[in-house]
Amino acid sequence: MSRRKPLSKQVIVITGASSGIGLTTARMAAARGARVVLAARSRDALAEARAEIERAGGQALDVVADVGRREDVQAVADAAIATFGGFDTWVNVAGLTIYGRLREISDEDHARLLQTNLWGTVFGSLVAVEHLRRRGGTLINVGSVASDLAFPFQGMYAASKHAVKGFTDALRMELRDEGAPVSVTLIKPTSIDTPLPERARNYMDREPTLPPPIYRPEVVAEAILHAAVRPQRDIFVGGSGKALVAMKEFAPGAFDLLAPAIIALQKRAKPPRRPEGALHAATEAGETHGTQPLYAMRTSAYTRASLHPVAVMAGAIGFGLAAAAVSIVGSSISRRDPS
């Protein structure tokens, strides 16, 4: 796909911008000169994020919105157009999860999760595309490694992310068929150190956490901002996620046998702190990182390689040539001085 405008020339809309990946992406985009539109349910957290960006010399607009309501999403697009004349990249980040056995979770909670994770992405994508098809630009949907895998005790979350992948792939194909100048990227993060577990609806008798390995949200934000300029079809964040997907494709039965381990890795030793979470009502936000007890990695070699394959290949070739040169020199010295 063709290269888009540099970030410093772009207006970027980000949903779920009050915490986690969304807030991290907004801060990084603004630091690189983009004008950002922040959308989420948490009014105070959005206002603080906007003020922080403006204090640093950036330009930002905050719009309170529930992405599960199409009229709210349309209001975000309208505000971006009224303030900045339009937008170049739209990023659907907003999402929540539920921990617990599927049979124990209420229909109301299941429906609310789907309203945010799936319908929020659908509404954001369709509203964004109506604007972008006229001027060109990029749509970025944040799915998950759960777009390709199922995780027990986060079953409906996995179902929502499977649906996001199917929707995103179908929309991309339709836009291509129409010749619309819109690039569509699906980001698939593995476990990310965000407040997602703390804000989850929790049916377990333990505080939830994420299975390792865990990556910092900056790794995801870097992938998102890369796609805003150099669109790619899919980007896995974290090589471990890609490896699990490959394992599941190769031996699905073996992956199913991991269920007890996956369930255990989603539970902390302490009792649940706030089981209701933020599923039905906005709670305090403003945090980019969570409280997971495990170390969060600052980079992913696999993701870096997938974002810069030419550079990685050049580096590998360069390393190979250097190794060959050393070998030739060593061999020459060896022939001259047998001792």
CB 123 within 8 A of CB 115: no
Write out the two tokens for 37: 């539109």
- Return d(Cα 290, Cα 127) in angstroms, integer: 31
Q: Which amino acid is at 102?
A: L
Q: In the chain, what are the domain boundaries?
A: 7-300, 308-339
Q: Please report the pLDDT score of residue 339 as a whole number.
A: 37
Rounded Cα distance, 73 and 296, in Å: 32
Please tell me the pTM assigned to this model: 0.89
Report the amino acid identity of residue 135.
Answer: R
The whole-number average pLDDT for the span 118-130 is 98
Q: Is the pLDDT of residue 295 over 50?
A: yes
Least confident range from 6-10, 164-168, 225-229, 321-325: namely 321-325
Q: Which residues are catalytic?
A: 157
User: pLDDT class for 259, splitting at 50, 70, 90?
Assistant: very high
Give the single-character DSSP code of 266: T
Q: What is the mean pLDDT of residues 42-67?
A: 97
The answer to whether residue 319 scores a pLDDT higher than 50 is no
Across-strand partners of 185? 140
Quote the CA–CA distance of 87 and 308 in Å, as a whole number: 26
CB contact at 8 A, 199 and 96: yes
Q: Is 181 exposed, middle or buried (0-12, 13-18, 19+ CB in 10 A)?
A: middle
Contact of 172 with 68, CB cutoff 8 Å: no
Please say if the pLDDT value at position 217 is more than 90.
yes
List C-alpha distances in Å: 320 to 74, 303, 327.
53, 22, 10
The average pLDDT across 132-159 equals 97
The predicted structure's pLDDT at residue 85: 97
pLDDT band of 338, cuts 50, 70, 90: very low
Q: In angstroms, what is the C-alpha Rg of the chain?
A: 22
Q: What is the DSSP letter of 265?
A: T
pLDDT of residue 2: 61
DSSP code per residue over 14-29 = EESTTSHHHHHHHHHH
Can you tell me the mean pLDDT for 23-34? 98
CATH of domain 7-300: 3.40.50.720
Query: Who's near 222: CB < 8 A, 6+ residues apart?
Result: 28, 307
Q: Which two tokens stand for residue 336?
A: 């001259």
CB 187 within 8 A of CB 141: yes
Q: Note whether 22 and 15 are within 8 A (CB).
A: yes
* Band (293; pLDDT cuts 50, 70, 90): confident
- What is Dmax (Cα atoms) for the chain? 82
